[in-house]
Amino acid sequence: MVSKTYKTSEAHRKKLSEAQKKAWKNGSYKDRKTPDVGGDNNPFFGKKHTPETILKIKEARAKQVITKEHKENISKANRGIHFNPNKDMSHYNSVHYWVKKNKPKSKLCEHCKKVPPTDLANISGEYKRDINDFLYLCRKCHMIQDGRLKN
């Protein structure tokens, strides 16, 4: 019974991480909430257990509120997706801040010129303190640019 509980939490973690990755990709991470562990998000959904096991799972679940450690792991994973850990974070932040201050946000995405920009995108990947190294892009163009101009 001990090993079963362990496997569950492993599978659960994987599921959470996949859901988070998807959310990051489609941009819905902005409205993310506490991960949903009910219904078909639960790895046990649709599977059958003996009533005894179900009871045990229920008990465990009641106790197993998402722990602080768990939350930290999720947030660490998210950071890993969004930022290149090899880059100096404080540099990244300060350059972004600097560019936002020195480069007025364009009314339309500088690439497609159709929709208002949502992102400040770096072109060279080096985060130069140079407004010409940055473009205000819509989410879609930013995604395209990210894929195409990988350094």
Chain residues binding Zn ion by CB under 5 A are: 109, 111-112, 138, 141
Segments in 38-88 forming alpha helices (H): 51-63, 68-82
Q: Which is nearer to Zn ion, 49 or 113 (CB)?
A: 113
Q: Which is nearer to Zn ion, 8 or 145 (CB)?
A: 145
Pairwise CA distance, residues 64 & 41, whole Å: 16
Q: Return the bridge partners of 114, or none.
A: none
Q: Which is nearer to Zn ion, 11 or 112 (CB)?
A: 112
Smallest distance from the beta carbon of 81 to Zn ion, in angstroms?
22
Question: Quick one: residue 5, left, alpha or beta (phi over 0 = left, psi -120 to 50 = alpha)?
Answer: alpha
Smallest distance from the beta carbon of 136 to Zn ion, in angstroms?
9
Smallest distance from the beta carbon of 114 to Zn ion, in angstroms?
6
**Contact between residue 45 and residue 8 where contact means Cβ atoms under 8 Å apart:** no
Segments in the chain forming alpha helices (H): 2-26, 51-63, 68-82, 89-102, 139-148
Q: Which is nearer to Zn ion, 95 or 121 (CB)?
A: 121
Smallest distance from the beta carbon of 105 to Zn ion, in angstroms?
13
